[in-house]
Each structure stands twice: as structure tokens, then as C-alpha cells.
Structure 1
């Protein structure tokens, strides 16, 4: 694929607001496909595997940030550059878009020439999939429930220190709380918060072995209020204190690690 032959997917529920930008894109030699709902955008991204995606943020049902997180979990799609094209202009929204996988953040008020220049840059920089990649999603493509699960696990893993409600996690990955709970129970055999607890303790074991951080620092890094709460949870789960675990890990003997439940 050359830059001139690129296929661009635009996901925006109000395309009339960006008519001049769409006209500028279509005036190039690029193929432009439009999706007007998040679910339609998800399906078309997976089916068509475009070369670049322009994604609005404020989309009813599932916002652009959540959709971007889901797209990152699709093997055929995760390499595709996502550029947010939106009127959501706050610094917090810009940072959110760039930190969750977007390669650029462009305001709808921009001049068409600016949009074209940015699109051209990212088309040139975009990684190319293997030539042997299938033209259509195969039977091994993850279901949307699997995509939501992976997106939730990745989001939580990146933000272990932050307090989450179930509703916040679900909304951030494009679903609702009861569905997310059901996905975790069906696929992992535990609740969302049981998994978070396990992930925090897994991360704590890594930090105990690989860093010199103190107990309070580790507790804050993985989302416990205090070193005391962290120590209590660690001992209840593994039968030893974090300090005992670190000492055994530093000795690096199989018997010692077995003794602390590693």
C-alpha cells in the first residue's frame, strides 16, 4: 500500500459537522469509509482493516476513548494509527486520547490543509502488516467479550494505584457494569475486584523482587491506602509478610520460594 492508495475510516456520529474535512480527504486519492456509530466503527475497522482511523471522542453509547481501547485488542487492527478528530478540546481530554493509544489529537476546527498534512505524516509512519495477513477476520479473531476483558485488564493494569468503581471501569472499555461483571465471572471465574486484588498482589511481588522500594511506596503504587493494609492483604494471600517474601526471593532458592507461595 502506498500513501496515495490509503484507506481511511472516519468514525463520527455527526459527519455534517466535518463536511469540509471529509471533502478534503475525498479530494485526495484516498478511499474514505464513514461509520456513524461506535459499534459500526468497531465492525468496519475489524472487517476492512483500514490504513488509518479518524475517531471522534463524543460518540453516543461508547465514547471514542473506549472504542480506541477496544480496537487495540484486535490483532488485525492494533497496528492501525488512530487519530482523534474531535471538538473535545480540554487538556484532560487531549491527554486521555494520547495516553490511550491515539497517535494524534486534532480539533475539528482545524483547517483542511492541516488535517491532510497530519494524515499524510501518520500514513508514512504507520507500520505495515505482513503481506500474508488474511483479507478477512478469521475464526481465531477474539469475540467482543474477549476484547472487553482484555481492554479492562490492560486499563486496570496501567492504573493500579487509582481507585475505580465498577461503573467507571465498564464505561472506560465501552460496556456497562453488569456485562463486565458477567464477562469476568465467565472467563476468569472471579469478580472484577477479586481480579484487581490478585493483580495488585502479583505486581507487589514483582516490585518486592525487582526494586528497593519501601512498603509504603509499593502500597501506593499498587493502590493500597497504607503499608499496613498492604501487609495484611499480602500475608492473608501468601502466608508471609512482604518483607519475608522479599528476603526469600533475594536468596532465590526453590525451597524458599515454595515456602512463600511464589
Structure 2
């Protein structure tokens, strides 16, 4: 028992919940276990406080005003200074699809309310132990992301890359990231020099290049796989970008010839994570 408590002793936990009674209960449990505690009342505040204090672990609700827990988790997971902080969702949002989404976007655990204090402490112990205690997150490389735009774009790119065939609208994507369409569009322009649509089309065509030379999939199947409404629309977009048709590109690749390159001023610009 003493060994278990030593993991929690002086561990810095960020607790995020908009319900005062839930906060009080969890704070009492953690204080009795010897933890240091910081508090946030929504996802936006959680993100900013995590950047400022680098907690050892975050316990966070999902359904909160302004920015929900899922949106905050996406930003935290795509910010170099916070991506290694374990996040445990502690929430009444316990439908299967919600639990799966929470784990898919980067949480290490998902606990339903009402909760058993002993179980929450046990899960926190496990994840603190696996994280190796407090980590030096200030040593991440690259310039600090003072605007938050880098995290927004990284999270957006990650989400779009997994859904090329059926991406969300810009408005839906912004909502998933806890921001608004205008800021998301501005972040893409400032970070990538492109609109969201330009990035998405460029990424689709980049994937198409790989599929054309690396798979036997038909051009119609490739068009469907990357989200074009028809093979004709795909062929037109491909030819406009690379000055070569998809079939000619595939043939040149199979014969070891010189493949088409992007037109001047239309170079592919992928988002590369510095980490």
C-alpha cells in the first residue's frame, strides 16, 4: 500500500469538470491520496492550463461548455508540450461510440460516472506509473506555439487524413476542434499557406499517386477511395495538378519513367509534425 501511495504522492493532477459537486468529490479523493490539484472548468481552460503547468495527468469530463473534452484532448494530443500527458476521461458520456472516440483520439482511459473513488485512484496510479512519473515536457523541440494554431492544424490534419473519402465540412471540423470556422481557416492559411479545401485536395492527390504506382486498384476505385465523386472528376483534378493523366502516371511509374511533377505554384505542401 505504501508503494502504491508513493506514485500518487505529490503528483500534479489537472481536474476538468463544469459541475461543482463532481469537482469537490474528486478533489477530496485526490487530496486524501496526497496529490496536488489544479482545476479547469471547460476544455479551453484545460488546454491553456495544461500548457502553463504541465500536469502529470489530466482527469477530464466530456460534456462541457465552450470546448468539450474531446476537442481539448485532440488539441492536447497534437501539441508537443502536452502530447505525453496521460488523459483519463471521467464522464457520464458513456455510450460505446463515445468511449471508443475518447480512446481513439488519445485518452489513456475512460471511466463512467458515477464513479468509485478507489477505482479512479487505481487507474490514476497505473497511468502515472506507466508514464514514469513527472516528465520534462518543456524540452520539446521547435518554437513554442503561442497562438495555438499549430495544434489546431495538426489535429485537423490528423482527423482529415483518417477520413479522406468522407471528410467533415469546415464548420463540422471546427466544431470537433472546439473552435470556429473563421479561426480554423485562418490557422490553415498561417501554418500551411492553404485553405482547408486546398490541403484536402492536395492530400487526396498525393495518396492517389501512391495508390496508382503501388496498387493494382482501378482508377475508378482509387477515385472513390480518396473521396472524388467520379473517376472523371478525379482524372481532371489529377491532370490539372500534375499535367499528366492518372493512367499515364501509372504507366510511367510501371515502366520506370519520369513521373509528372506539380505545376509551378501548385507544389504539394504537407503538414509535417516537427516531433
Instruction: Check conservation: 1:219, 1:225, Cα contact below 8 A.
Output: yes
Equivalent residues in 2 for 1:15-34, closer than 5 Å: 15-34=20-39
Higher alpha-carbon deviation: 236-245 or 93-102: 236-245
State the Cα RMSD in Å: 2.5
Name the residue aligned to 1:208. Answer: 212
Instruction: Check conservation: 2:61, 2:69, Cα contact below 8 A.
Output: yes
Equivalent residues in 2 for 1:214-253, closer than 5 Å: 214-253=218-257
Name the residue aligned to 2:70. Answer: 65
Equivalent residues in 2 for 1:1-150, closer than 5 Å: 3-4=7-8, 5-126=10-131, 134=138, 140-142=143-145, 143-150=147-154
Quick one: distance in 2 between partners of 1:172 and 1:70?
Answer: 10
Higher alpha-carbon deviation: 115-124 or 215-224: 215-224
* Residue segments in structure 2 that go unaligned for 5+ positions in a row: 1-5, 269-275
SS of the aligned residue for 1:101 comes to coil
Instruction: Check conservation: 1:240, 1:260, Cα contact below 8 A.
Output: no
* Residue segments in structure 1 that go unaligned for 5+ positions in a row: none
Instruction: Check conservation: 1:89, 1:107, Cα contact below 8 A.
Output: yes
Name the residue aligned to 2:3. Answer: none
SS of the aligned residue for 2:119 comes to helix
Post-superposition offset of 1:229: 2.6
TM-score normalized with structure 1 length: 0.87
Quick one: distance in 2 between partners of 1:151 and 1:65?
Answer: 11
Return closer, same or farther for 1:45/1:252 CA change in 2, 3 Å cut-off: farther
Instruction: Determine if the alignment matches structure 1 residue 194 to structure 2 residue 216.
Output: no
Post-superposition offset of 1:115: 1.0
Aligned residue-pair number: 257
Quick one: distance in 2 between partners of 1:215 and 1:52?
Answer: 47
Post-superposition offset of 1:129: 7.4
Quick one: distance in 2 between partners of 1:128 and 1:228?
Answer: 55
Instruction: Determine if the alignment matches structure 1 residue 180 to structure 2 residue 173.
Output: no
Q: What whole-Å deviation, never above 9, does each CA across 1:61-98 have from its counterpart, x for those lacking one?
A: 11111111111122121011111111112222112111
Post-superposition offset of 1:230: 2.0
Name the residue aligned to 2:175. Answer: 171
SS of the aligned residue for 1:60 comes to coil
SS of the aligned residue for 2:259 comes to helix
